[in-house]
Amino acid sequence: MAEEVFLFGFWGSPFSRRVEMALKLKGIEYKYIDEDFSNKSPSLLKYNPIHKKVPVFVHNGKHLAESLVILEYIDETWKDHPILPKDPYERANARFWAKFIDEKYLSAIWKSCTCEEKEREKAVEEVSELLQFLENELKEQRYFGGETIGLVDIAANIIGYWLEIFEEAFGVELLRKEKFPKLCNWANEFVSVSAIKENIPPRNKLIAFLRNRFGIGNTRHS
Amino acid sequence: MEEVKLLGVWPSPYSYRVIWALELKGVKYEYVKEDLANKSDLLLRYNPVHQKVPVLVHNDKPIAESTVILEYIEETWPHNPLLPTDPHERALARFWIKFLDDKSPTLLRFYLTVGEEQEKATKEVRELLKIIEEQGLGEKKYFGGDKIGLADLVFGFIPVWLGVLEESAGVKVMKPDDFPRLQVWIENFRENPVIKANLPDPHELLAHSKQKREVLLASKIA
């Protein structure tokens, strides 16, 4: 039976890229539609009337929104290369960290990059505390998922790739190698995996996009 | 031998979700009452990241975050399933669970405000309820389909807490003729024998809710 898989995404979004990473890891064929936010397509508005956001995933005519919900669906539907462990306790642990990353990291990183100068030190410290949790959680593993990429690694794509882009675009230092050696190592391993490497937005294009979109004129660090 | 402990706080909807899930599945557990003003060593040890309740401890292994706990309970005690078998339906249940939790500021705002701000907040929560009724519940008897599921336990905020918050805030969010389908669901939910046997005392809940509002409003003015 021919599967029909569509993904509405945005090339720069870590959230829609997460879905692409999972699809690539599992070798699933799909059609990708890039959305222009200033002009959302009728299909997007039809498929995600509630949030009007990407990613929106469509499988055999049935649509889903919310990247982590989509990832769980993909894992349940296509059993090759599982991204969640089998053991219920380990699954709970993976879900806990994926949820934590989703709720805290992007907004904290964003804040540290775009806040007023007088608030920066505190904002950067908050990001540091968050990064420390993940540094500890990695322990001696290659990936958060153990020997292979899992749900938490994919959810942490924000830290694996986008973080460095934010640092460069806004001139803020967040992920110091001396302080977070394991996390830095993990980030390098993460982006070398082919399913991930093929699904990260081009660096310079993303930096330019961030700078243009959010009006970075003045430099903060020389 | 199984050892299940639940660290919770009265009258938190998040703790009750877990209580309901355990009770619906007939899982024996020990309830440990936490005092958030004076957190126990046990809580700090079991949930170092958030230091919040609920925390489920199963054979000395802790799980935090109510929605993560609910999925763990479902996977560990699969009898009396609380999630559909079809992956798309499961994904929709997860979507709506996340939806309600993400919208919790909107759900609570009318209770935390006065005057014009409260008017605006009341309008917003009514719009939310409309979406929940039309798109979340739709034509189904329960959010979970034919029978109560995890999504119903999360939406249980509406039958159990919303009315109490309305009374404390002196505002009617759901008038008698409003949201007819949601009202039917509310009745069905409250009539479920397990839910009925595990509800917070309404008088105590109201007294607590009124007092809390006074404290919160006073601290805003200060």
User: pLDDT category, A220, cuts 50, 70, 90?
Assistant: very low
What mean pLDDT, rounded, does chain A reach?
91
Q: Which comes out higher in pLDDT, residue B44 or A71?
A: A71
* A91 contact residues in B (CB cutoff 8 A): 71-72, 75
B79-84: long-range contacts, CB 8 A cutoff, minimum separation 24: B79/B25, B80/B24, B80/B25, B80/B26, B82/B21, B82/B24, B82/B25, B82/B144, B82/B148, B82/B149, B82/B150, B82/B153, B83/B144, B83/B149, B83/B150, B84/B144, B84/B145, B84/B149
The predicted structure's pLDDT at residue A187:
97
The predicted structure's pLDDT at residue A218:
45
Q: DSSP of A65-105, one letter per residue?
A: ESHHHHHHHHHHH--SS-SS-SSHHHHHHHHHHHHHHHHHH
CA distance B180 to chain A (A): 21
Render pLDDT for A112-146 as a digit per residue (tens, 0 to 9): 999 999 999 999 999 999 999 999 999 999 999 99
For A133, name the nearest residue in chain B, comparing CA atoms only.
B49
pLDDT at B150 over 80: yes
- Count CB neighbours of B190 within 10 A: 13
ipTM comes to 0.94
* Binary contact (B67, A99; C-beta < 8 A): yes
The predicted structure's pLDDT at residue A148:
94
Probe site for chain A from B4, B47, B58, B65 (most A CB atoms < 10 A): B65
Q: Any chain B CB within 8 A of the CB of A26?
A: no
Nearest to A92 among B68, B88, B99 (CB): B68
Nearest to A76 among B65, B71, B87 (CB): B87
Probe site for chain A from B88, B99, B128, B137 (most A CB atoms < 10 A): B88
**Which residues in chain B (175-194) have CB-CB distances under 8 A to chain A?**
none
CA distance B214 to B51: 25
Secondary structure class of B84 (helix, strand, coil): coil
User: pLDDT category, A40, cuts 50, 70, 90?
Assistant: confident
The predicted structure's pLDDT at residue B36:
85
* Binary contact (A100, B49; C-beta < 8 A): yes
The predicted structure's pLDDT at residue A75:
98
pLDDT at A12 over 80: yes
* Binary contact (A92, B90; C-beta < 8 A): no
